[in-house]
């Protein structure tokens, strides 16, 4: 079964976490209490088992510290990270294609993405503040309007992906859903899979216009397109997690939360735009409302908009 990590919808994240924590952490004497949880795909983790399958009690689970997030030995994405967009469905006449292209072209080198440079691999090589938009293709409903997780991987595979240092984003128009829980359990997710013999990282990002109350922070947005502006924050979330935890075995906390999960739906200080919307950063020539990310600081981690 392929593991995924998902960005919980705003209306369900806190309830899911509140229901889960007592069941796992509230039982004295539980032999698993000292084990970390690993990302599973619905925002809550299963027990992280380093070593061979079924090894529930193997040694220290993580290389931790005081930052609130731990390194579990897996790779991170080093050097320049390439964004690949797959525009799935009907995007004709939608300004999202311009807004999100601008976003991908300007997030690299920003104070915001620089937060990810606080993460590193087992050789202490840090993530770079370097991101490029490597390309974009269109997919005219090749798998219909209700996508299973397997269909999303097939959509990625159909582009013949070869970039192992890229993240392939399946961006869906508002008439498309994902059957495993878009709008009810998550707004987006990232994972990896072996495609054409390569370890390909990819992500699903749904259009918040389908469920604004679950996946949009505001109905009026900085760029006049609430769906696109909402997707920008979700793309940021999945991108920073894919870079710091591409194979779901690198950086996450004891609950199985990756860096962006720890700051989901928090935005820090904001300014009011002329149309009444809120924004918290400028990338290129556009303003956006983008969720904060977790700074992996030895003196204690924290959510921030820049580093």
- pLDDT tens for each residue of 231-274: 999 999 999 999 999 999 999 999 899 999 999 999 999 999 99
Alpha-carbon torsion (45, 50, 53, 58), positive or negative: negative
Q: What is the pLDDT of residues 6-28, one digit of tens each?
A: 667 764 443 333 333 323 323 33
Q: What is the DSSP letter of 262?
A: G
pLDDT, residue 10, reads 63
The rounded distance, in Å, linking the Cα atoms of 138 and 294 is 33
Residue 83 contacts by C-beta under 8 Å, 6 or more apart in sequence?
104, 131, 132, 133, 134, 166, 167, 169, 239
Name 282's bridge partners.
287
pLDDT, residue 25, reads 28
pLDDT, residue 35, reads 62
Check: CB of residue 40 under 8 Å from CB of residue 191.
no
**E-strand stretches of 152-277:** 166-172, 177-178, 188-195, 198-205, 251-252, 271-272
Q: Does residue 212 have a pLDDT over 50? A: yes
Q: What is the pLDDT of residues 104-120, one digit of tens each?
A: 999 999 999 999 999 99
């Amino acid at each position: 079964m392929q593991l995924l990590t998902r960005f919980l919808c705003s209306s369900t994240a806190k309830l899911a976490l509140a229901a889960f924590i007592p069941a796992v952490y509230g039982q004295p004497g539980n032999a698993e209490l000292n084990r970390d949880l690993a990302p599973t795909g619905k925002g809550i983790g299963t027990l992280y088992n380093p070593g061979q399958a079924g090894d529930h009690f193997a040694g220290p689970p993580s290389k931790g510290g005081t930052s609130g997030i731990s390194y579990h030995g897996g790779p991170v994405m080093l050097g320049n990270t390439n964004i690949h967009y797959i525009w799935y469905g009907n995007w004709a006449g939608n300004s999202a294609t311009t807004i999100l292209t601008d976003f991908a072209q300007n997030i690299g080198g920003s104070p915001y993405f620089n937060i990810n440079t606080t993460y590193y691999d087992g050789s202490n090589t840090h993530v770079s503040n370097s991101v490029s938009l490597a390309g974009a293709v269109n997919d005219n409903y090749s798998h219909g309007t209700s996508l299973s997780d397997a269909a999303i991987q097939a959509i990625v595979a159909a582009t013949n992906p070869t970039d192992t240092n890229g993240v392939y984003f399946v961006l869906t128009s508002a008439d498309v859903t994902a059957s495993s829980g878009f709008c009810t359990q998550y707004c987006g997710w990232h994972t990896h899979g072996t495609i054409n013999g390569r370890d390909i990282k990819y992500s699903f990002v749904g259009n918040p216009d389908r469920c604004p109350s679950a996946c949009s922070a505001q109905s009026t947005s900085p760029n006049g397109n609430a769906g696109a502006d909402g997707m920008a924050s979700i793309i940021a979330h999945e991108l920073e997690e894919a870079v710091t935890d591409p194979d779901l075995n690198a950086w996450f906390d004891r609950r199985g939360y990756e860096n962006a999960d720890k700051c989901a739906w928090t935005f820090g200080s904001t300014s009011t735009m002329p149309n009444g919307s809120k924004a918290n950063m400028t990338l290129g020539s556009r303003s956006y409302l983008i969720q904060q990310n977790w700074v992996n600081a030895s003196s204690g981690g924290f959510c921030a908009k820049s580093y």
